[in-house]
Structure 1
Amino acid sequence: MTRIALVTAIAAAGLDDDLAPLLDACARAGLATQVRAWDDPTVGWGRFDAAILRSPWDYMTRLGEFLDWCEHASSRTRLLNPLPVVKWNTDKHYLAELAARGVPVVPTVFVEPETEPLPALQAFLAAHSDTQEFVVKPSVGAGSKDAQRYARTQEFAAANHLARLLDAERSAMLQPYLDAVDEHGETALIYFAGEFSHAIRKGPLLRADEGPTPHLFAAEAITPRTPSQEEMSLAGHVLAAARDALQLHEAPLYARVDLIGDRDGRPCLLELELCEPSLFFAHAAGSADRFAALLAKTLERAPA
């Protein structure tokens, strides 16, 4: 029987709601799966026929260590998230590359560690004079960890937040806060091997006057959603642009495209998750079994 490691993190133990339904679905598909933490030094990765990233959700402050583990794991087993994809997608600088390829992206300014934070923030606010609220967050992050929403009147508090990220040698992002999310939420479209599976609505995560979450990730309000045709079209464009940027011969095993409405109500890209997204199996009947069947079929083929 094919042995698969579903990769989590010690810090994420018990937090991944996808793991239980996926374990059950893999058993029905004839796959022997075990949950293992990437940062557990006792795991022998060569004992597995494949490993698939699921919830290594502490990598944002340990990126170098995590990428070293990915390289090590790739030399011992078949890592179903190819290393070039992981390196590209764990840092949101990829948004700039997708924007350059014509993808409508939430307007984003990247601020690098050697930059003075207050002048960088003031330049951003001057360039977005119609922006009443904005977001500061790290370019390597997940689950809204270390992200916060600010009003223009909170310039110095935001600059201090920016300084903390830069002082920790973390690149940061400045984005206008698109308040359509307060009513409409985000639309997350989930794809398996390039085929649309299902979509969910995420409620707004960043509340006014709330600091960054102290937890591994912010709590999410999730409900099923039927995406609009415009959202479907944009998600397809995003995936095609990513494949082109990465020169991939086939679609990733899974992908989640997170969209948000701009000020004119048109969808734009907030994030593209190719490495460790929640896939929200509980909100789409049969989705875990479809994914397990795809996984079994993928493992029957030789690596590309």
Structure 2
Amino acid sequence: MSAARIAIVTSGDGVDEDPDLPLILAALRAAGMSAEAVAWDADPKEWDGFDLAVIRSTWDYTGRLEEFLAWADATARVTRLWNPAPLVRWNSDKRYLRELAERGVPVVPTRFIEPGGHCGEEDFGGPHGVVVKPTVSSGARDTARYEPGRRADAVRHARMLLDQGRTAMVQPYLRLVEEGERALVFFSGTFSHAIRKQPVLTEAGVTDNFRVPHPGAAPYQPSEAEIRTARGALAAVPAPGDLLFARVDLALDEAREPVVMELELIEPNLFLRINPQGLERFVEAVAAGLRHTTA
């Protein structure tokens, strides 16, 4: 029997910059699978020649969202796509945070402003300022935080996004994020490992699209409350049993309780280089999924 063929889906930038990509390819091959890195927009490419396509570092998708979502739908029709196309679509717009909140998940309080909607300074208050970002973004692109006395600047940022036809989101700045953001990684619904990293929005009023996305990332042992919150977020996802991988990003609120900042189901950094056991668990999850697919 020939080895299962697996596409590790990446992008032009991902091929050069994804530190986990060579580790994943080597580990899957060592486990007897035939794995290769393929850019999601590779043309031509016979996706039906793969037994499985695993999205990893498709880091340019936010600027080509509709094209990417169409690719995910088309690929899912000819092979198994992980994570599945409906969840990719759901997770591609941060308005999913509203759904999580409606399902009882503690999330960072968020106001969404649609193009054409009201956008006034009264919506940009907070004891420690606010964070303004678009709902479709990755790596803190087009994102900035504003101190309490800079409401007018925050409004201008939001209006710039609205004028581009984008939905803006406004969140209170959580000062305890300065103690570190937490990222909890799960494979097939089971907690694997976590990291804590330094805050990204270090300078108020600055939009820097070339920030280091995970400064100072280091292994971290999450609290029981953090694991419980992360699991609750995953349980609220549509079809959570279909998740091969997930990353839940948390911060602490004023009461030092964990709240969900983001739920990453498309192409999150899984920090496998930091945690070799995480790499083993990733390979085990892929192998188990393949057995289920071919059973």
| TM-score, reference length from structure 2 | 0.93
The two structures, once aligned, show a CA RMSD in angstroms of 1.8
**Deviation at residue 219 of structure 1 after TM alignment:** 5.0
| Bigger shift: residues 6-15 or 78-87 | 6-15
Q: Spell out, residue by residue over 1:56-97, the C-alpha distance to the aligned partner (whole angstroms, 9 max, x if none).
A: 111112111110111121123221221111111111111111
**Deviation at residue 251 of structure 1 after TM alignment:** 4.8
Structure 2 residue 263 is the aligned partner of structure 1 residue 261: no
SS where residue 157 of structure 1 aligns?
helix
**CA contact under 8 A between 1:144 and 1:217: conserved in structure 2?**
no
Structure 2 residue 282 is the aligned partner of structure 1 residue 291: yes
Structure 2 residue 275 is the aligned partner of structure 1 residue 280: no
SS where residue 227 of structure 2 aligns?
helix
User: Partners in 1 of 2:225 and 2:64 — Cα distance?
Assistant: 37
Matches within 5 A, 1:67-106: 67-106=69-108
Matching residue within 224, 227, 231 for 2:226: 231
**Paired letter, 1:257:** V
| Bigger shift: residues 222-231 or 77-86 | 77-86
User: Partners in 2 of 1:85 and 1:241 — Cα distance?
Assistant: 12
Residue in 1 that maps onto 2:129: 133
Sequence identity of aligned pairs in percent?
42
**Paired letter, 2:135:** S
**CA contact under 8 A between 1:26 and 1:289: conserved in structure 2?**
no
**CA contact under 8 A between 1:58 and 1:216: conserved in structure 2?**
no
User: Partners in 1 of 2:212 and 2:74 — Cα distance?
Assistant: 27
Residue in 2 that maps onto 1:252: 243
Residue in 2 that maps onto 1:218: 213
**Paired letter, 1:27:** R
Residue in 1 that maps onto 2:182: 187
User: Partners in 2 of 1:13 and 1:149 — Cα distance?
Assistant: 31
Relative to 1, partners in 2 of residues 1:11 and 1:168: Cα closer, same or farther, differing over 3 Å? Answer: farther
Matching residue within 30, 34, 38 for 1:28: 30
Matching residue within 33, 40, 55 for 2:57: 55
**CA contact under 8 A between 2:91 and 2:265: conserved in structure 1?**
yes
Relative to 1, partners in 2 of residues 1:228 and 1:141: Cα closer, same or farther, differing over 3 Å? Answer: same
**Deviation at residue 116 of structure 1 after TM alignment:** 4.4
**Paired letter, 1:285:** P
Q: Spell out, residue by residue over 1:136-183, the C-alpha distance to the aligned partner (whole angstroms, 9 max, x if none).
A: 00111111111111113222322222122112211111001101011x
User: Partners in 1 of 2:118 and 2:224 — Cα distance?
Assistant: 42
Relative to 1, partners in 2 of residues 1:212 and 1:72: Cα closer, same or farther, differing over 3 Å? Answer: same
SS where residue 12 of structure 1 aligns?
helix
| Bigger shift: residues 158-167 or 21-30 | 158-167
**Deviation at residue 303 of structure 1 after TM alignment:** 7.6
**CA contact under 8 A between 2:15 and 2:21: conserved in structure 1?**
no
Q: Spell out, residue by residue over 1:254-300, the C-alpha distance to the aligned partner (whole angstroms, 9 max, x if none).
A: 11111100011111110111121111011213221221122012112
Relative to 1, partners in 2 of residues 1:43 and 1:211: Cα closer, same or farther, differing over 3 Å? Answer: farther
Relative to 1, partners in 2 of residues 1:303 and 1:144: Cα closer, same or farther, differing over 3 Å? Answer: farther
Relative to 1, partners in 2 of residues 1:39 and 1:216: Cα closer, same or farther, differing over 3 Å? Answer: farther
User: Partners in 2 of 1:296 and 1:185 — Cα distance?
Assistant: 34
5+ residue gaps, structure 2, are none
SS where residue 110 of structure 1 aligns?
strand
Relative to 1, partners in 2 of residues 1:252 and 1:15: Cα closer, same or farther, differing over 3 Å? Answer: same
**Paired letter, 2:133:** K
Name the count of aligned residue pairs: 293
**CA contact under 8 A between 1:8 and 1:36: conserved in structure 2?**
yes
Relative to 1, partners in 2 of residues 1:5 and 1:217: Cα closer, same or farther, differing over 3 Å? Answer: farther
**Paired letter, 1:204:** P
Matching residue within 262, 274, 277 for 1:271: 262
